[in-house]
């Protein structure tokens, strides 16, 4: 059976937005990695990612993949968070008449991402919503 508590433990970076900061040069990696891309360092500390950021670029997918079809069209944005890390996330709660612009402030919120109808699973993750 699908256990939310188990998934929480198995995907801490994804669910808790945790990044790894290189203890040698300070570069922040999200998702975490084993070797620092800047200095080849191998020691990291876990840091929390900020929830606030700004839109770098975005696109709309008019024919979404299976599992996302009820959310058509699907807005996807690259968001630069307050610590400079860029993440690709789905945009939620955007009215049809509203248009995102580059530089718009957004906030990441924990939402339902999609279902796998056959297995009966529902996946959760972070989506960007317009910051007010
Ligand atoms: Zn480093």
> pLDDT tens for residues 6-20?
444 445 566 678 899
CA distances from 112 to 50, 64, 81, 125 (A): 20, 16, 21, 6
For the stretch 58-95, pLDDT in tens is 998 888 777 777 777 888 999 999 999 998 889 998 88
Percent of the chain at pLDDT > 90 equals 43
> What spacing in Å lies between the alpha carbon of 38 and ligand 1's midpoint?
5
pTM, full prediction = 0.77
Sequence ranges of the domains in the chain: 1-49, 50-132
Q: How far is the CA of 21 from the centre of ligand 1 (A)?
A: 8
Distance from the CA of 72 to the center of ligand 1, in angstroms? 40
Integer Cα distance of 64 and 87 in angstroms: 19
CA of 28 to the centre of ligand 1 (A): 8
> Which CATH number is 50-132's, of 1.10.10, 3.40.50, 3.10.28, 2.40.50?
2.40.50
């Amino acid at each position: 059976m699908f256990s939310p508590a188990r998934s929480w433990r198995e995907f801490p970076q994804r669910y808790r937005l945790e990044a790894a900061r290189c203890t040698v040069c300070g570069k922040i990696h999200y998702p975490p990695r084993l070797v620092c891309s800047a200095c080849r360092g191998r020691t990291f500390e876990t840091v929390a990612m900020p929830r606030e950021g700004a839109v770098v670029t975005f696109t709309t997918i008019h024919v979404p993949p299976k599992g996302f079809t009820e959310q058509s069209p699907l807005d996807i944005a690259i968001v630069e968070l307050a610590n400079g890390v860029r993440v690709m996330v789905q945009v939620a709660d955007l009215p049809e008449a509203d248009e995102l612009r580059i530089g718009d402030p957004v906030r990441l919120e924990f939402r339902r991402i999609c279902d796998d109808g056959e297995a009966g699973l529902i996946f959760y993750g972070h989506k960007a919503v317009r910051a007010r």
